[in-house]
Chains A and B, each alone.
Chain A
Amino acid sequence: MIRPLARAAVLAGLAAMLASAGARADCRGLQVAEPWIRSAPPGAMALAAYAELRNTGPAPLTISGLAAADFERAELHRNLIDNGVARMRAVPRLTLAPGEALTLAPGGYHLMLLRPRRALAAGAASRIEFLCDDDRSAVTFVLRSPD
């Protein structure tokens, strides 16, 4: 026997879940400025995206992943030159303190975009989502040369 009150509660819960999914709640406080993808040689299997990330919220913000429909994989990476050797390493989780900013720029942090699913020429737009613990933020990146 279905009690009307319970059914109403379930429906309300479902409605709330759908509403939150539809609203695409952002990674709270994440601000992404000047997003761009470095235009790459034809057939390039790895591209890099850059932007300035800032946590404008009152609480720490953790980016735990990326989703990019135009690529097979997207990961946050960091390059460093260590004793004359260029090393690139994945950064699985990045936490920004309230007010903290991180610049993704050539030679340092970047979003590593592996194996494009479509040809992306200069001027093309590509959407990349930042995944936070509960939320996600979609940002449109535009391909251009670094000059």
Chain B
Amino acid sequence: MSSSTQSVLFGVVAALAAVAGLVVAQLHFGSKTPSIESGTLLSKPRPIAEFQLVDSAGHPFGRSRLEGQWTLIFTGFTYCPDVCPNTLAVLKGVKARLDEAKVPLQVVFVSVDPERDTGERLGLYTHYFNPDFIGATGNRDNLDSLTRSLSLIYAKVPGTTPDSYTMDHSAALVLVNPQAEVAGYFLPPHRPEALVRDLENVVRRTPAR
């Protein structure tokens, strides 16, 4: 073998090794943040600051209630007759499918309308879709703190009468990992089939310890 052939061969081997390295890296890092079809996963999950809400049963609902399990959070309000029941009905179907597949997921409906949403009203509304769904709300400061951590927005918008105001709210679902960090977002329109596939994929890959 001439030295020029040797150096060409070396070059080819080096190139192959480089490609193999890229493939391995892609597989490795790719497996850390699987791609999902109905939203985006963050490459680096973001911690959620401490917050203090109250669930519909009157128990404190803070950061610790997000630890140790995967959670899906949706913000809304019970005077919402269309988008919120649409989304909660989708989540009802998704949750049933995940339960069948033994994929654990906590679903939390956070009301951004504490003026009208009492614990009792929030409980009736949330449990109508699934008795395991958690309804929670809190004062402005705590809602602001949580929605800021989740990168969600909400705003009160006056209606035709003082008590028929409405709430604008982010339509995304927030996926929270068992370390109470924002892991990703599911964006509307929420399609049950895709959500089930994505959630199974993500939760199975990194089960709660």
B98 at the interface (CB under 8 A from A): no
A:77-124 near B, CB below 8 Å: 77, 79, 81, 84-90, 106-107, 110, 112-114
B81 touches A47 (CB 8 A): yes
Known: A73-B164, A114-B164. A48 touches B159 (CB 8 A): no
How many A-B Cβ pairs are below 8 Å? 89
Per the CB 8 Å criterion, the residue count for chain B at the interface is 34
B120, B161, B164: most-surrounded residue (chain A CB, <10 A): B164
B82 touches A106 (CB 8 A): yes
B89 touches A146 (CB 8 A): yes
B:83-140 near A, CB below 8 Å: 83, 85-86, 89, 116, 120-121, 124-129
A43 at the interface (CB under 8 A from B): yes
Residue of chain B at shortest CB distance from A108: B82
Interface on B for A, CB 8 Å cutoff?
Answer: 76, 78-83, 85-86, 89, 116, 120-121, 124-129, 153, 157, 159-161, 164, 166, 168-172, 187-189
Q: List 15 A-B contacts (CB under 8 A).
A: A38-B81, A41-B78, A41-B127, A44-B78, A44-B124, A46-B80, A48-B85, A84-B172, A84-B187, A84-B188, A85-B153, A86-B169, A89-B157, A107-B86, A112-B81
